[in-house]
Amino acid sequence: MEITKIDALAQSLSEAGFDLDEELMQIETTSNGIDLPRIRIEHKSNGKHCMYIDYGESYLDDDVQEKPIKGNRIEGVVFVEQNIRALWEEGESLPRCSAIDNRPIVDSPENDSCQGCHEAIIGNGKCKPKIRLWMLVHKEDGIKPFIFALSPTSLKHWNNHKKMLKRSKLPVVAVYTVFTLQDVKKNGYRWAEVEIGINGIADKEMLILAKKYRDELEKLMKKITEKDYSDPGDKE
C-alpha cells in the first residue's frame, strides 16, 4: 500500500513525540472560526451538470479539494435553514449589505428590514436571496457537517418540500433529505436546479448529532461570507 504524505507526516510526528490529531485540534481551537466543506453545483451548457464537494484550498498539490458527488445525488439531515441575502459591490470581498432571515447583520444596512427594502424587490433590486442549509451527511469516515447554499432558481423546490413536510407533520430536521439535479432549458440558457425529496425518518443518533452541531456552530451561522456567494451570477 502506498504511503501518503499525511501518513508519512503522522509517522514523523509520532516518532518526535507529537500526535497529529492533537496538533490539528490546536489549530481548530485557536483559528478564527470553523471552515466547513460546501456542496456546490457546476452548471454546464451541454446539460452535464455536476454536484461536488468543495473542501477549500490546501497547501498539498496532490490533495484533491473538489470531489464529485456520485450520481449528482446527496442525502442528509438538515439541522438549520437560513434565508440569507447579500448586496455586493464589484471587486469587494464583503457585501455592502447582508441579512439573515430578514434581519440585517451589517452596521449600515440599506433598510431596517429586508421587507420593504428597495434592493430586495424581485426583478429590480440587486440584493441576491439564497437559502443556506446546514446538514449532516454520512461519509466514509463518519457523519460530517456540510453547508449547501441553494441558488434563487432552486428556492421554489425547497419551499415546496417544506409545504409537503408541513402537511405530513414532519419537521425539516426529522427526515433524510435527498438533493438531486434537474436540467432546465429556457430562452437559450441551460442550468441545473436542485430537486428535493426525502428518504425516510432520521434515527436517534443523527438527531442527537444534529442538535449538537446546531448548538456548536451557532456563532458561525451568524455570518455571511464570499463562500456563500461564489456561484455564477451571485454578485451580478
Beta 73-87 vs 97-100: how paired, if at all? antiparallel
In a domain, 58, yes or no: yes
Domain count, the chain: 2
Domain with 8, as residue range(s), is 1-31
- Residue 27: what pLDDT? 62
CA distance 233 to 236: 5
* 14 and 92 inside one domain: no
Per-residue model confidence as pLDDT tens digits over 148-202: 999 989 999 999 999 999 999 999 999 999 999 999 998 888 999 999 999 999 9
In a domain, 236, yes or no: no
* Mean pLDDT (whole number) for 13-19: 88
* 23 and 95 inside one domain: no
Map grid coordinates 478564527 to a residue: 32
* 137 and 187 inside one domain: yes
- Residue 34: what pLDDT? 61
Per-residue model confidence as pLDDT tens digits over 80-115: 999 999 998 888 888 999 999 989 999 889 988 888
**8-state DSSP, 3:** P
* 57 and 172 inside one domain: yes
78 in Cβ contact with 135 (< 8 Å): yes
Q: What 3-state class would DSSP assign to 194?
A: strand
In a domain, 235, yes or no: no
In a domain, 87, yes or no: yes
* 2 and 62 inside one domain: no
* 3 and 74 inside one domain: no
Burial pattern 203-235, b for ≥16 Cβ within 10 A else e, equals eeebbebbeebeeebeeeeeebeeebbebeebb
Read out DSSP for 111-149?
A: SSSSTT-GGGSTTT--PEEEEEEEEEEEETTEEEEEEEE
* 61 and 145 inside one domain: yes
CA distance 111 to 103: 10
CA distance 134 to 81: 7
- Residue 28: what pLDDT? 56
* 22 and 39 inside one domain: no
In a domain, 234, yes or no: no
The strand pairing partners of 135, in sequence order, are 78, 146
